[in-house]
Each structure stands twice: as C-alpha cells, then as structure tokens.
Amino acid sequence: MRTLDASLSDVLGCPGTVGVLLVDAVSGLGYASAGDTGAIGTGGELAELAELVAEQLHEAGAEGELENIVVSSRQRHHIVQVVPRHGDPLLLAVVIDREQTNLALALRQTATQAGKLLA
C-alpha cells in the first residue's frame, strides 16, 4: 500500500487543488495533509459538518449514505468526499481554485483519488 503522503500528493497534483486533508469521519483525527491546509479547516470541524449534513439528509427523507459535500465561494470550491472503509469512514477534504478547474472535473477527480487512497 502506498503511503498516505504519496496519495495526497497525487490529489494535490490535480488541476487547481490548493490543499488536501484526510481525517477520521467520527473523531475528526487528522491522518495526513498536503498543501494549504489553512484553507480547509480542522478535522473536527469537517467531521461535525459531515455528521450534520448526513443527519439533515436523513431527516429530509433521503436514502443511502452521504457521498460528498460541496461548498462554493467566489474563489474556491470546497469538496468533502466520504472514503468508505472497514470501521469508521474517512473524509477527504479538498480545496480547489475555481479559476483553474471546473466543479464537475474536480468532483470526478476527487472521487477517483478517494477510491485510490486505501487501495
């Protein structure tokens, strides 16, 4: 298995990617990071956000598990991708410069890279 640092370097190499953080979805414990992590937030904040969104979707009647969260600002897209694994899932948080890529491409690349993280 590749090291997490090498895997996150691959994610950071995607067009427009500014920063990457991999955290435990339940505890918020950070496992690895690359790039400008100040643009992402803390692992605890990401875990709380994912839990809140998942709860609200469930209350609204949505079926299935949360796959990702996308928040866009004028300059950046913030993508939080759920990475399933045995036990608690992980969250791959990626911040992308809007002027250097488009959202559809960024979502596809983030999902692809998330699938490769634990392979």
Where do the domains of the chain lie, and which CATH numbers do they carry?
Answer: 4-117 (3.30.450.30)
Scanning the structure block, which residue is given the tokens 């469930």? 58
Contact yes or no for 94/81 (Cβ under 8 A): yes
Least confident interval from 19-23, 83-87, 115-119: 115-119
Contact yes or no for 119/42 (Cβ under 8 A): no
Query: CB 24: neighbour CB atoms within 10 A?
Result: 18
Q: What is the pTM of this model?
A: 0.92
Amino acid at 26: V
18-70, pLDDT tens digit by residue? 999 999 999 999 999 999 988 888 999 999 999 999 999 999 999 888 999 99
Total residues found in the chain within this entry = 119
Distance of CA 86 to the CA centre of its chain: 18
